[in-house]
Chains A and B, each alone.
Chain A
Protein backbone atom coordinates (compact mmCIF):
# COMPACT_ATOMS: atom_id res chain seq x y z
CA UNK A 1 0.00 0.00 0.00
CA UNK A 2 1.31 3.42 -0.93
CA UNK A 3 1.85 5.43 2.17
CA UNK A 4 1.56 9.21 1.99
CA UNK A 5 1.50 9.47 5.75
CA UNK A 6 4.98 8.29 6.67
CA UNK A 7 6.37 9.83 9.85
CA UNK A 8 10.06 10.29 10.54
CA UNK A 9 10.12 7.57 13.17
CA UNK A 10 13.72 8.24 14.27
CA UNK A 11 12.95 11.88 14.92
CA UNK A 12 9.71 11.16 16.82
CA UNK A 13 11.30 8.39 18.88
CA UNK A 14 14.03 10.84 19.86
CA UNK A 15 11.44 13.41 20.95
CA UNK A 16 9.63 10.69 22.93
CA UNK A 17 12.86 9.44 24.57
CA UNK A 18 12.15 5.82 23.64
CA UNK A 19 14.79 3.45 22.28
CA UNK A 20 13.26 1.39 19.45
CA UNK A 21 14.75 -1.59 17.67
CA UNK A 22 15.05 -1.49 13.86
CA UNK A 23 12.24 -4.02 13.67
CA UNK A 24 9.98 -1.86 15.86
CA UNK A 25 10.76 1.19 13.75
CA UNK A 26 9.77 -0.61 10.56
CA UNK A 27 6.57 -2.08 12.06
CA UNK A 28 5.46 1.13 13.77
CA UNK A 29 6.14 3.27 10.69
CA UNK A 30 3.86 1.06 8.61
CA UNK A 31 1.12 0.69 11.24
CA UNK A 32 1.11 4.34 12.25
CA UNK A 33 1.09 5.35 8.58
CA UNK A 34 -2.23 3.49 8.28
CA UNK A 35 -3.53 5.18 11.42
CA UNK A 36 -2.50 8.65 10.21
CA UNK A 37 -4.20 7.88 6.90
CA UNK A 38 -7.38 7.16 8.86
CA UNK A 39 -6.98 10.50 10.72
CA UNK A 40 -7.33 12.29 7.37
CA UNK A 41 -11.10 11.94 7.86
CA UNK A 42 -10.97 14.84 10.29
CA UNK A 43 -10.22 17.23 7.44
CA UNK A 44 -13.84 16.79 6.30
CA UNK A 45 -15.22 18.53 9.41
CA UNK A 46 -15.94 22.24 9.31
CA UNK A 47 -14.30 23.56 12.46
CA UNK A 48 -14.32 27.26 11.60
CA UNK A 49 -15.00 29.25 14.73
CA UNK A 50 -15.25 26.12 16.92
CA UNK A 51 -13.58 26.34 20.34
CA UNK A 52 -11.22 23.44 21.06
CA UNK A 53 -12.14 21.24 24.06
CA UNK A 54 -9.37 20.16 26.39
CA UNK A 55 -11.94 18.88 28.87
CA UNK A 56 -15.35 17.15 28.68
CA UNK A 57 -17.21 20.16 30.10
CA UNK A 58 -16.55 23.71 31.28
CA UNK A 59 -14.56 23.98 34.48
CA UNK A 60 -12.82 27.01 35.87
CA UNK A 61 -9.88 27.02 38.22
CA UNK A 62 -10.28 24.75 41.19
CA UNK A 63 -8.43 25.61 44.36
CA UNK A 64 -7.91 23.88 47.63
CA UNK A 65 -6.51 25.22 50.85
CA UNK A 66 -2.71 24.96 50.97
CA UNK A 67 -2.36 23.24 54.31
CA UNK A 68 0.48 21.09 55.58
CA UNK A 69 -0.46 17.44 55.89
CA UNK A 70 1.17 14.06 56.32
CA UNK A 71 3.93 13.39 53.79
CA UNK A 72 6.13 10.44 52.87
CA UNK A 73 9.21 9.71 54.93
CA UNK A 74 12.46 9.53 52.95
CA UNK A 75 12.32 5.73 53.08
CA UNK A 76 8.75 5.64 51.82
CA UNK A 77 9.57 8.04 49.00
CA UNK A 78 12.56 5.95 47.97
CA UNK A 79 10.91 2.56 48.40
CA UNK A 80 10.38 2.10 44.65
CA UNK A 81 13.67 3.66 43.49
CA UNK A 82 15.77 1.31 41.34
CA UNK A 83 18.99 2.40 43.09
CA UNK A 84 19.51 4.45 46.25
CA UNK A 85 22.24 5.40 48.66
CA UNK A 86 22.33 7.68 51.73
CA UNK A 87 18.68 8.65 51.38
CA UNK A 88 19.03 9.64 47.73
CA UNK A 89 18.37 8.19 44.28
CA UNK A 90 21.51 7.01 42.49
CA UNK A 91 21.75 7.93 38.80
CA UNK A 92 24.49 7.65 36.19
CA UNK A 93 27.03 10.45 36.29
CA UNK A 94 25.65 13.53 34.54
CA UNK A 95 28.56 15.94 35.02
CA UNK A 96 31.91 15.51 33.24
CA UNK A 97 35.06 15.25 35.38
CA UNK A 98 36.85 18.57 35.69
Chain B
Protein backbone atom coordinates (compact mmCIF):
# COMPACT_ATOMS: atom_id res chain seq x y z
CA UNK B 1 0.00 0.00 0.00
CA UNK B 2 1.48 3.33 -1.06
CA UNK B 3 1.34 6.29 1.29
CA UNK B 4 -1.89 8.30 1.13
CA UNK B 5 -1.76 11.04 -1.46
CA UNK B 6 -1.56 14.31 0.49
CA UNK B 7 -3.62 16.06 -2.19
CA UNK B 8 -6.64 14.27 -0.73
CA UNK B 9 -6.91 16.62 2.26
CA UNK B 10 -10.47 17.90 2.12
CA UNK B 11 -9.82 21.64 2.33
CA UNK B 12 -7.29 21.49 -0.52
CA UNK B 13 -9.69 19.46 -2.65
CA UNK B 14 -12.44 21.95 -1.86
CA UNK B 15 -10.18 24.78 -3.00
CA UNK B 16 -9.55 22.95 -6.28
CA UNK B 17 -13.31 22.61 -6.85
CA UNK B 18 -13.83 26.30 -6.10
CA UNK B 19 -11.01 27.33 -8.46
CA UNK B 20 -12.35 25.03 -11.16
CA UNK B 21 -9.10 23.08 -11.51
CA UNK B 22 -11.15 19.93 -11.01
CA UNK B 23 -14.82 19.03 -11.10
CA UNK B 24 -16.87 17.11 -8.55
CA UNK B 25 -17.36 14.37 -11.14
CA UNK B 26 -13.60 14.06 -11.65
CA UNK B 27 -13.10 13.89 -7.90
CA UNK B 28 -15.82 11.25 -7.47
CA UNK B 29 -14.36 9.20 -10.34
CA UNK B 30 -10.92 9.49 -8.77
CA UNK B 31 -12.19 8.26 -5.39
CA UNK B 32 -14.13 5.41 -7.03
CA UNK B 33 -10.98 4.40 -8.95
CA UNK B 34 -9.01 4.40 -5.72
CA UNK B 35 -11.63 2.18 -4.07
CA UNK B 36 -11.40 -0.27 -6.99
CA UNK B 37 -7.62 -0.25 -6.85
CA UNK B 38 -6.96 -0.19 -3.12
CA UNK B 39 -9.97 -1.56 -1.28
CA UNK B 40 -9.45 -5.22 -2.25
CA UNK B 41 -6.37 -5.12 0.02
CA UNK B 42 -7.96 -2.98 2.77
CA UNK B 43 -11.63 -3.97 2.94
CA UNK B 44 -12.84 -0.65 4.34
CA UNK B 45 -16.10 -0.56 2.35
CA UNK B 46 -19.06 -2.92 2.65
CA UNK B 47 -20.69 -1.34 -0.41
CA UNK B 48 -20.31 1.65 -2.72
CA UNK B 49 -23.07 2.87 -5.07
CA UNK B 50 -20.95 4.50 -7.76
CA UNK B 51 -23.87 5.52 -9.98
CA UNK B 52 -25.58 7.41 -7.17
CA UNK B 53 -22.32 9.13 -6.18
CA UNK B 54 -21.65 10.26 -9.76
CA UNK B 55 -25.22 11.54 -10.08
CA UNK B 56 -24.74 13.64 -6.92
CA UNK B 57 -21.38 14.87 -8.25
CA UNK B 58 -22.98 15.96 -11.54
CA UNK B 59 -25.63 17.88 -9.60
CA UNK B 60 -22.85 19.57 -7.62
CA UNK B 61 -21.01 20.60 -10.80
CA UNK B 62 -24.25 22.03 -12.18
CA UNK B 63 -24.76 24.11 -9.03
CA UNK B 64 -21.23 25.48 -9.31
CA UNK B 65 -21.69 26.19 -13.02
CA UNK B 66 -24.80 28.23 -12.11
CA UNK B 67 -22.81 30.07 -9.45
CA UNK B 68 -24.95 28.57 -6.68
CA UNK B 69 -22.85 26.04 -4.76
CA UNK B 70 -24.15 24.94 -1.35
CA UNK B 71 -21.03 26.23 0.41
CA UNK B 72 -17.28 25.76 0.08
CA UNK B 73 -17.36 21.95 0.33
CA UNK B 74 -20.07 21.32 -2.27
CA UNK B 75 -19.09 18.18 -4.22
CA UNK B 76 -16.77 16.56 -1.66
CA UNK B 77 -17.40 12.88 -0.86
CA UNK B 78 -17.74 11.77 2.78
CA UNK B 79 -17.28 8.10 3.75
CA UNK B 80 -20.10 6.90 5.99
CA UNK B 81 -19.83 4.31 8.76
CA UNK B 82 -22.53 1.72 8.16
CA UNK B 83 -24.36 2.73 11.35
CA UNK B 84 -25.50 6.16 10.05
CA UNK B 85 -28.70 6.29 7.98
CA UNK B 86 -28.53 7.47 4.36
CA UNK B 87 -31.98 7.17 2.77
CA UNK B 88 -32.17 4.42 0.18
CA UNK B 89 -28.77 2.93 1.06
CA UNK B 90 -27.93 -0.18 3.10
CA UNK B 91 -27.76 0.27 6.87
CA UNK B 92 -26.32 -3.04 8.02
CA UNK B 93 -24.32 -2.17 11.17
CA UNK B 94 -22.07 -4.97 9.80
CA UNK B 95 -24.63 -7.44 11.20
CA UNK B 96 -26.47 -10.40 9.69
CA UNK B 97 -29.45 -8.99 11.56
CA UNK B 98 -29.60 -5.98 9.21
CA UNK B 99 -27.85 -7.43 6.16
CA UNK B 100 -30.74 -6.52 3.82
CA UNK B 101 -32.01 -3.43 5.67
CA UNK B 102 -32.34 -0.25 3.60
CA UNK B 103 -32.50 3.07 5.47
CA UNK B 104 -35.97 4.62 5.12
CA UNK B 105 -34.77 8.11 6.04
CA UNK B 106 -31.66 10.30 6.39
CA UNK B 107 -29.88 10.78 9.70
CA UNK B 108 -29.65 14.39 10.88
CA UNK B 109 -25.94 14.43 9.98
CA UNK B 110 -26.80 13.11 6.49
CA UNK B 111 -29.37 15.89 5.99
CA UNK B 112 -26.75 18.41 7.04
CA UNK B 113 -24.15 16.95 4.67
CA UNK B 114 -26.59 17.09 1.76
CA UNK B 115 -27.59 20.67 2.62
CA UNK B 116 -23.92 21.61 2.14
CA UNK B 117 -23.56 19.66 -1.10
CA UNK B 118 -21.41 16.95 0.51
CA UNK B 119 -21.86 13.49 -1.02
CA UNK B 120 -22.36 10.41 1.19
CA UNK B 121 -19.81 7.96 -0.22
CA UNK B 122 -20.16 4.23 0.45
CA UNK B 123 -20.87 2.18 3.56
CA UNK B 124 -17.86 1.63 5.82
CA UNK B 125 -17.13 -1.54 7.75
CA UNK B 126 -17.24 -1.61 11.54
CA UNK B 127 -17.55 -3.96 14.49
CA UNK B 128 -21.09 -5.31 14.53
CA UNK B 129 -23.41 -2.68 16.07
CA UNK B 130 -20.22 -0.72 16.96
CA UNK B 131 -19.30 -3.28 19.60
CA UNK B 132 -15.58 -3.92 19.43
CA UNK B 133 -12.12 -2.39 19.15
CA UNK B 134 -10.67 -4.02 16.02
CA UNK B 135 -13.45 -4.27 13.37
CA UNK B 136 -12.97 -8.06 13.64
CA UNK B 137 -16.52 -8.38 14.98
CA UNK B 138 -17.96 -7.41 11.59
CA UNK B 139 -20.20 -10.18 10.29
CA UNK B 140 -19.92 -8.86 6.73
CA UNK B 141 -16.25 -8.25 5.95
CA UNK B 142 -12.62 -8.05 7.03
CA UNK B 143 -10.86 -4.70 7.27
CA UNK B 144 -7.06 -4.55 7.40
CA UNK B 145 -4.85 -1.75 8.60
CA UNK B 146 -3.69 0.13 5.45
CA UNK B 147 -0.25 0.60 7.03
CA UNK B 148 0.27 -3.17 7.49
CA UNK B 149 -2.32 -5.73 6.49
CA UNK B 150 -1.39 -8.12 9.32
CA UNK B 151 -2.71 -5.60 11.82
CA UNK B 152 -6.24 -4.51 12.69
CA UNK B 153 -7.35 -0.96 11.84
CA UNK B 154 -8.81 -0.67 15.36
CA UNK B 155 -12.51 -0.26 15.92
CA UNK B 156 -15.29 0.03 15.94
CA UNK B 157 -14.97 2.69 13.18
CA UNK B 158 -12.17 0.69 11.52
CA UNK B 159 -13.55 1.12 8.00
CA UNK B 160 -13.91 4.89 8.46
CA UNK B 161 -10.28 5.20 9.62
CA UNK B 162 -8.84 2.83 7.01
CA UNK B 163 -10.66 4.49 4.09
CA UNK B 164 -9.18 7.87 4.99
CA UNK B 165 -5.71 6.49 5.79
CA UNK B 166 -5.60 4.63 2.46
CA UNK B 167 -6.56 7.82 0.61
CA UNK B 168 -9.84 6.45 -0.79
CA UNK B 169 -11.96 9.30 0.60
CA UNK B 170 -10.77 12.68 1.91
CA UNK B 171 -12.72 12.26 5.15
CA UNK B 172 -15.39 10.15 6.78
CA UNK B 173 -17.85 9.93 9.64
CA UNK B 174 -17.54 7.43 12.46
CA UNK B 175 -19.27 6.96 15.78
CA UNK B 176 -17.66 6.79 19.21
CA UNK B 177 -19.20 5.15 22.28
CA UNK B 178 -16.01 4.19 24.15
CA UNK B 179 -13.24 5.23 21.77
CA UNK B 180 -14.53 3.95 18.44
CA UNK B 181 -13.39 7.03 16.49
CA UNK B 182 -10.18 7.89 18.36
CA UNK B 183 -8.65 4.42 18.75
CA UNK B 184 -8.88 3.49 15.03
CA UNK B 185 -7.66 7.01 14.17
CA UNK B 186 -4.61 6.31 16.34
CA UNK B 187 -4.09 2.84 14.83
CA UNK B 188 -4.34 4.05 11.21
CA UNK B 189 -2.57 7.40 11.55
CA UNK B 190 -5.44 9.85 10.97
CA UNK B 191 -7.26 12.51 13.00
CA UNK B 192 -10.47 11.39 14.78
CA UNK B 193 -12.74 13.63 16.85
CA UNK B 194 -15.53 12.76 19.28
CA UNK B 195 -17.63 15.85 19.99
CA UNK B 196 -19.20 16.73 23.33
CA UNK B 197 -22.19 14.49 24.05
CA UNK B 198 -25.16 16.32 22.53
CA UNK B 199 -23.17 18.45 20.08
CA UNK B 200 -24.19 16.24 17.15
CA UNK B 201 -27.68 14.80 16.87
CA UNK B 202 -28.00 11.03 17.20
CA UNK B 203 -31.13 10.98 15.02
CA UNK B 204 -30.49 8.30 12.40
CA UNK B 205 -27.52 6.80 14.23
CA UNK B 206 -28.36 3.18 15.09
CA UNK B 207 -28.30 3.10 18.89
CA UNK B 208 -25.73 1.12 20.85
CA UNK B 209 -25.41 2.94 24.22
CA UNK B 210 -27.51 6.08 24.03
CA UNK B 211 -25.91 8.02 26.90
CA UNK B 212 -22.45 7.60 25.32
CA UNK B 213 -22.86 7.48 21.52
CA UNK B 214 -21.65 10.43 19.41
CA UNK B 215 -20.99 10.81 15.68
CA UNK B 216 -17.74 12.53 14.71
CA UNK B 217 -15.32 13.28 11.87
CA UNK B 218 -12.23 11.34 10.75
CA UNK B 219 -9.81 13.22 8.52
CA UNK B 220 -6.20 13.77 7.40
CA UNK B 221 -5.68 16.90 9.49
CA UNK B 222 -7.18 18.91 12.33
CA UNK B 223 -8.41 21.65 9.98
CA UNK B 224 -10.44 19.11 7.98
CA UNK B 225 -11.88 17.62 11.17
CA UNK B 226 -12.96 21.11 12.24
CA UNK B 227 -14.62 21.76 8.86
CA UNK B 228 -16.51 18.44 8.93
CA UNK B 229 -17.58 19.08 12.53
CA UNK B 230 -18.96 22.45 11.39
CA UNK B 231 -20.98 20.57 8.77
CA UNK B 232 -22.58 18.07 11.18
CA UNK B 233 -22.91 19.89 14.53
CA UNK B 234 -26.08 21.67 15.58
CA UNK B 235 -29.37 21.36 17.40
CA UNK B 236 -32.07 18.89 16.34
CA UNK B 237 -35.48 18.54 17.98
CA UNK B 238 -35.62 14.84 17.06
CA UNK B 239 -32.86 13.98 19.54
CA UNK B 240 -33.88 15.08 23.04
CA UNK B 241 -30.22 15.01 24.13
CA UNK B 242 -29.16 17.32 21.30
CA UNK B 243 -27.63 20.54 22.69
CA UNK B 244 -29.99 23.39 21.92
CA UNK B 245 -27.43 26.13 21.29
CA UNK B 246 -25.97 26.61 17.83
CA UNK B 247 -22.22 25.93 17.78
CA UNK B 248 -19.57 28.52 16.84
CA UNK B 249 -17.50 28.06 13.66
CA UNK B 250 -14.93 25.46 14.63
CA UNK B 251 -12.87 25.87 11.45
CA UNK B 252 -12.45 29.61 12.15
CA UNK B 253 -11.51 28.96 15.77
CA UNK B 254 -8.98 26.29 14.83
CA UNK B 255 -7.39 28.58 12.23
CA UNK B 256 -7.23 31.49 14.71
CA UNK B 257 -5.32 29.51 17.35
CA UNK B 258 -5.45 29.98 21.13
CA UNK B 259 -5.54 33.60 22.34
CA UNK B 260 -3.40 32.85 25.41
CA UNK B 261 -0.91 30.13 26.40
CA UNK B 262 -2.77 26.90 27.07
CA UNK B 263 -2.46 25.12 30.40
CA UNK B 264 -1.97 21.44 29.56
CA UNK B 265 -2.61 18.74 32.15
CA UNK B 266 -1.06 15.28 32.01
CA UNK B 267 -3.19 12.81 34.00
CA UNK B 268 -0.65 10.64 35.77
CA UNK B 269 -3.00 7.62 35.70
CA UNK B 270 -2.70 7.57 31.88
CA UNK B 271 1.07 7.11 31.94
CA UNK B 272 1.33 4.07 34.18
CA UNK B 273 1.42 0.32 33.97
CA UNK B 274 0.32 -1.22 30.68
CA UNK B 275 1.44 1.71 28.51
CA UNK B 276 3.68 0.60 25.64
CA UNK B 277 7.15 2.22 25.87
CA UNK B 278 7.19 3.44 22.27
CA UNK B 279 3.71 4.95 22.62
CA UNK B 280 4.78 6.70 25.80
CA UNK B 281 7.92 8.10 24.12
CA UNK B 282 5.88 9.49 21.20
CA UNK B 283 3.28 11.07 23.48
CA UNK B 284 5.92 12.59 25.75
CA UNK B 285 7.64 14.03 22.68
CA UNK B 286 4.28 15.57 21.68
CA UNK B 287 4.06 17.15 25.14
CA UNK B 288 7.57 18.59 24.66
CA UNK B 289 6.42 20.08 21.35
CA UNK B 290 3.48 21.73 23.10
CA UNK B 291 5.78 23.08 25.81
CA UNK B 292 8.04 24.54 23.12
CA UNK B 293 4.94 26.30 21.73
CA UNK B 294 4.45 28.06 25.06
CA UNK B 295 1.98 25.69 26.72
CA UNK B 296 2.27 25.35 30.48
CA UNK B 297 2.54 21.66 31.32
CA UNK B 298 1.55 20.20 34.68
CA UNK B 299 0.75 16.77 36.04
CA UNK B 300 -2.76 16.27 37.35
CA UNK B 301 -4.70 13.32 38.76
CA UNK B 302 -7.94 11.65 37.70
CA UNK B 303 -8.13 9.24 40.64
CA UNK B 304 -11.08 7.15 39.42
CA UNK B 305 -9.49 6.30 36.05
CA UNK B 306 -8.95 2.63 36.90
CA UNK B 307 -12.72 2.18 37.31
CA UNK B 308 -13.64 3.54 33.88
CA UNK B 309 -13.47 0.21 32.04
CA UNK B 310 -15.74 -1.70 34.46
CA UNK B 311 -18.17 1.26 34.64
CA UNK B 312 -18.27 1.46 30.85
CA UNK B 313 -18.88 -2.24 30.30
CA UNK B 314 -21.76 -2.15 32.78
CA UNK B 315 -23.40 1.06 31.54
CA UNK B 316 -22.84 0.40 27.83
CA UNK B 317 -24.01 -3.23 27.88
CA UNK B 318 -27.04 -2.34 30.02
CA UNK B 319 -28.08 0.32 27.51
CA UNK B 320 -27.30 -2.03 24.61
CA UNK B 321 -29.45 -4.82 26.04
CA UNK B 322 -32.36 -2.37 26.08
CA UNK B 323 -31.65 -0.72 22.70
CA UNK B 324 -31.16 -4.02 20.87
CA UNK B 325 -34.41 -5.47 22.22
CA UNK B 326 -36.02 -3.89 19.14
CA UNK B 327 -34.54 -6.59 16.88
CA UNK B 328 -37.37 -9.08 17.22
CA UNK B 329 -37.60 -10.62 13.75
CA UNK B 330 -41.05 -9.06 13.30
CA UNK B 331 -40.98 -5.59 11.75
CA UNK B 332 -37.52 -5.55 10.17
CA UNK B 333 -34.24 -7.39 10.33
CA UNK B 334 -33.44 -11.09 10.18
CA UNK B 335 -36.32 -13.50 10.69
CA UNK B 336 -35.70 -17.18 11.54
CA UNK B 337 -37.48 -19.75 9.38
CA UNK B 338 -40.07 -22.12 10.78
CA UNK B 339 -40.60 -20.58 14.23
CA UNK B 340 -43.27 -22.32 16.31
CA UNK B 341 -44.76 -19.11 17.70
CA UNK B 342 -44.06 -15.41 18.29
CA UNK B 343 -41.70 -15.93 21.25
CA UNK B 344 -39.81 -18.70 19.46
CA UNK B 345 -39.44 -16.31 16.50
CA UNK B 346 -37.95 -13.70 18.82
CA UNK B 347 -35.43 -16.13 20.40
CA UNK B 348 -34.33 -17.76 17.18
CA UNK B 349 -34.16 -14.62 15.01
CA UNK B 350 -31.86 -13.03 17.58
CA UNK B 351 -29.83 -16.21 18.07
CA UNK B 352 -29.21 -16.40 14.31
CA UNK B 353 -28.97 -12.67 13.52
CA UNK B 354 -26.50 -11.49 16.15
CA UNK B 355 -22.78 -12.35 16.24
CA UNK B 356 -20.90 -13.50 19.32
CA UNK B 357 -19.81 -10.14 20.74
CA UNK B 358 -23.28 -8.66 20.38
CA UNK B 359 -24.83 -11.64 22.16
CA UNK B 360 -22.14 -11.47 24.84
CA UNK B 361 -22.91 -7.80 25.51
CA UNK B 362 -26.67 -8.33 25.47
CA UNK B 363 -26.28 -11.14 28.01
CA UNK B 364 -23.96 -9.06 30.19
CA UNK B 365 -26.24 -6.02 30.02
CA UNK B 366 -29.31 -8.07 30.81
CA UNK B 367 -27.53 -9.60 33.78
CA UNK B 368 -26.39 -6.29 35.33
CA UNK B 369 -29.95 -4.97 35.06
CA UNK B 370 -31.62 -8.13 36.38
CA UNK B 371 -33.43 -8.35 39.68
CA UNK B 372 -30.96 -8.95 42.51
CA UNK B 373 -27.94 -7.58 40.63
CA UNK B 374 -29.12 -4.10 39.61
CA UNK B 375 -27.85 -2.32 42.73
CA UNK B 376 -24.53 -4.16 42.88
CA UNK B 377 -23.66 -3.54 39.25
CA UNK B 378 -25.75 -0.97 37.37
CA UNK B 379 -26.56 1.47 40.16
CA UNK B 380 -23.02 1.32 41.58
CA UNK B 381 -21.58 1.88 38.10
CA UNK B 382 -23.78 4.96 37.63
CA UNK B 383 -22.48 6.36 40.92
CA UNK B 384 -18.85 5.71 39.99
CA UNK B 385 -19.63 7.39 36.67
CA UNK B 386 -20.48 10.52 38.66
CA UNK B 387 -17.08 10.26 40.41
CA UNK B 388 -15.29 9.96 37.05
CA UNK B 389 -17.03 13.08 35.73
CA UNK B 390 -16.23 14.98 38.95
CA UNK B 391 -12.54 14.11 38.52
CA UNK B 392 -12.54 15.86 35.14
CA UNK B 393 -14.47 18.89 36.37
CA UNK B 394 -11.94 19.32 39.16
CA UNK B 395 -9.01 18.91 36.76
CA UNK B 396 -10.41 21.57 34.44
CA UNK B 397 -10.35 24.09 37.30
CA UNK B 398 -6.58 24.28 36.87
CA UNK B 399 -5.90 23.27 33.24
CA UNK B 400 -7.50 24.03 29.85
CA UNK B 401 -6.87 20.71 28.18
CA UNK B 402 -5.67 17.20 28.98
CA UNK B 403 -3.12 15.31 26.89
CA UNK B 404 -2.83 11.51 27.04
CA UNK B 405 -2.01 8.52 24.87
CA UNK B 406 -5.07 7.56 22.76
CA UNK B 407 -4.50 3.82 23.20
CA UNK B 408 -2.08 1.89 25.43
CA UNK B 409 -0.48 0.19 22.40
CA UNK B 410 -0.11 0.67 18.65
CA UNK B 411 -2.36 -1.43 16.40
CA UNK B 412 -2.41 -5.07 17.44
CA UNK B 413 -2.30 -8.07 15.12
CA UNK B 414 -5.43 -9.51 13.60
CA UNK B 415 -6.68 -12.44 15.66
CA UNK B 416 -4.55 -11.51 18.67
CA UNK B 417 -7.40 -10.63 21.04
CA UNK B 418 -10.47 -12.19 19.45
CA UNK B 419 -10.74 -15.04 21.97
CA UNK B 420 -10.19 -12.84 25.00
CA UNK B 421 -12.95 -10.23 25.40
CA UNK B 422 -11.47 -8.78 28.60
CA UNK B 423 -8.13 -8.03 26.96
CA UNK B 424 -10.00 -6.43 24.02
CA UNK B 425 -12.01 -4.31 26.49
CA UNK B 426 -8.76 -3.03 28.05
CA UNK B 427 -7.71 -1.62 24.65
CA UNK B 428 -10.22 1.19 25.40
CA UNK B 429 -8.74 2.13 28.76
CA UNK B 430 -7.71 5.72 27.82
CA UNK B 431 -10.69 6.57 25.63
CA UNK B 432 -13.66 5.41 27.70
CA UNK B 433 -13.60 8.04 30.45
CA UNK B 434 -14.31 10.91 28.05
CA UNK B 435 -17.49 9.15 26.88
CA UNK B 436 -18.63 8.51 30.45
CA UNK B 437 -18.07 12.20 31.24
CA UNK B 438 -19.44 13.36 27.84
CA UNK B 439 -16.31 15.37 27.01
CA UNK B 440 -15.03 16.39 23.55
CA UNK B 441 -11.75 14.74 22.60
CA UNK B 442 -9.66 13.87 19.59
CA UNK B 443 -6.70 11.80 18.50
CA UNK B 444 -3.90 13.26 16.34
CA UNK B 445 -1.01 11.25 14.88
CA UNK B 446 2.19 11.87 16.88
CA UNK B 447 4.70 9.48 15.34
CA UNK B 448 5.37 5.89 14.47
CA UNK B 449 6.87 2.92 16.20
CA UNK B 450 10.16 1.42 14.94
CA UNK B 451 8.11 -1.11 12.98
CA UNK B 452 6.23 1.75 11.32
CA UNK B 453 2.86 1.57 13.08
CA UNK B 454 1.17 4.93 13.80
CA UNK B 455 0.76 6.34 17.31
CA UNK B 456 -1.88 8.87 18.35
CA UNK B 457 -1.97 11.48 21.09
CA UNK B 458 -5.33 12.27 22.66
CA UNK B 459 -6.57 15.73 23.67
CA UNK B 460 -9.56 16.03 26.05
CA UNK B 461 -11.35 19.36 26.66
CA UNK B 462 -14.18 20.54 28.96
CA UNK B 463 -17.83 20.15 27.88
CA UNK B 464 -18.56 22.15 24.69
CA UNK B 465 -14.95 23.40 24.49
CA UNK B 466 -14.33 21.92 21.03
CA UNK B 467 -12.79 25.27 20.16
CA UNK B 468 -10.01 24.80 22.74
CA UNK B 469 -9.69 21.16 21.69
CA UNK B 470 -9.15 22.03 18.04
CA UNK B 471 -6.85 24.97 18.82
CA UNK B 472 -4.61 22.81 20.99
CA UNK B 473 -4.53 19.99 18.46
CA UNK B 474 -3.84 22.39 15.60
CA UNK B 475 -1.06 24.06 17.58
CA UNK B 476 0.56 20.66 18.06
CA UNK B 477 -0.02 19.50 14.49
CA UNK B 478 1.52 22.68 12.99
CA UNK B 479 4.57 22.47 15.23
CA UNK B 480 4.96 18.72 14.62
CA UNK B 481 5.35 19.41 10.91
B463 touches A89 (CB 8 A): no
Q: Mark B11-36, 1 if CB is under 8 A from A, else 0.
A: 00000000000000000000000000
Known: A52-B385, A54-B382. A91 touches B330 (CB 8 A): yes
Interface residue? A20 (CB, 8 A): yes
B359 at the interface (CB under 8 A from A): yes
* Contact indicator B382/A53 (Cβ below 8 Å): yes
Contacts A24-B356, A56-B436 aside, 18 further interface pairs with beta carbons under 8 A come to A12-B366, A16-B350, A19-B348, A35-B421, A35-B422, A39-B377, A42-B307, A42-B310, A45-B383, A47-B387, A51-B386, A55-B211, A55-B438, A56-B197, A56-B435, A56-B437, A56-B439, A82-B329
| A12 and B363 within 8 A (CB) | yes
State whether B332 touches A82 (Cβ < 8 A): yes
- Contacts A45-B384, A91-B345; A17 near B350 (Cβ below 8 A): yes
Contact between B366 and A91 (Cβ–Cβ < 8 Å)? Answer: no
- B interface secondary structure, majority: helix
What residues of A have a CB within 8 angstroms of the CB of B351 in the complex? 18-21
Q: Given A47-B380, A64-B237, A92-B345: A53 and B389 within 8 A (CB)? A: yes
A74 at the interface (CB under 8 A from B): no
Q: Does B334 contact A (CB under 8 A)?
A: yes
Query: Which residues in window 21-78 of A have CB below 8 A to B?
Result: 21, 24, 27-28, 31-32, 34-36, 38-39, 41-45, 47, 50-57, 59, 62, 64, 72, 76-77
How distant is the Cα of A41 from the Cα of B381 in the complex, in angstroms?
A: 11
Q: A16-B363, A81-B332 are in contact. Are A45 and B197 (CB under 8 A)?
A: no
Asked if B333 is at the interface of the complex by the 8 Å CB criterion, the answer is: yes
The CA-CA distance from A77 to B237 in the complex, in Å, is 22
Binding site for A on B (CB under 8 A): 100-102, 104, 197-198, 211-212, 237-238, 240-241, 244, 304, 306-307, 309-311, 313-314, 321, 325, 328-335, 339-348, 350-352, 354, 356, 359-360, 362-364, 366-367, 370, 377, 379-387, 389, 421-422, 425, 435-439, 463
Taking A56-B437, A57-B197 as contacts, is the C-beta distance between A20 and B359 under 8 angstroms? Answer: yes
Interface core residue of B102, B304, B421 (most chain A CB under 10 Å)? B421
- Interface range for A: 35 or more
Contacts of A35 in B (CB 8 A): 313, 364, 421-422, 425
Can you list 19 residue pairs at the A/B interface with Cβ under 8 Å?
A12-B363, A18-B351, A20-B363, A32-B363, A35-B313, A35-B425, A38-B422, A45-B380, A45-B383, A51-B383, A54-B211, A56-B198, A57-B463, A62-B240, A79-B102, A80-B101, A82-B334, A92-B339, A92-B341
Contact A31 B421 (CB under 8 A): yes
A-B pairs with lowest CB-CB distance, top 9? A56-B438, A19-B351, A52-B382, A82-B335, A80-B332, A47-B383, A64-B237, A16-B366, A19-B347
Min Cβ gap A80→B in Å is 4
The answer to the question of A93 belonging to the interface, with a C-beta cut-off of 8 Å to chain B, is yes
CB of A34, distance to nearest CB on chain B (Å): 5
A50 nearest in chain B by CB position: B383
Q: Are B384 and A47 in contact (CB under 8 A)?
A: yes
Complex: chain A residue closest to B303, CB-CB = A45
Tell me the nearest residue of chain B to A64, going by C-beta.
Answer: B237
Among A34, A47, A93, find the residue whose CB has the most chain B CB atoms closer than 10 A: A47
Smallest distance from the beta carbon of A94 to chain B beta carbons, Å?
5
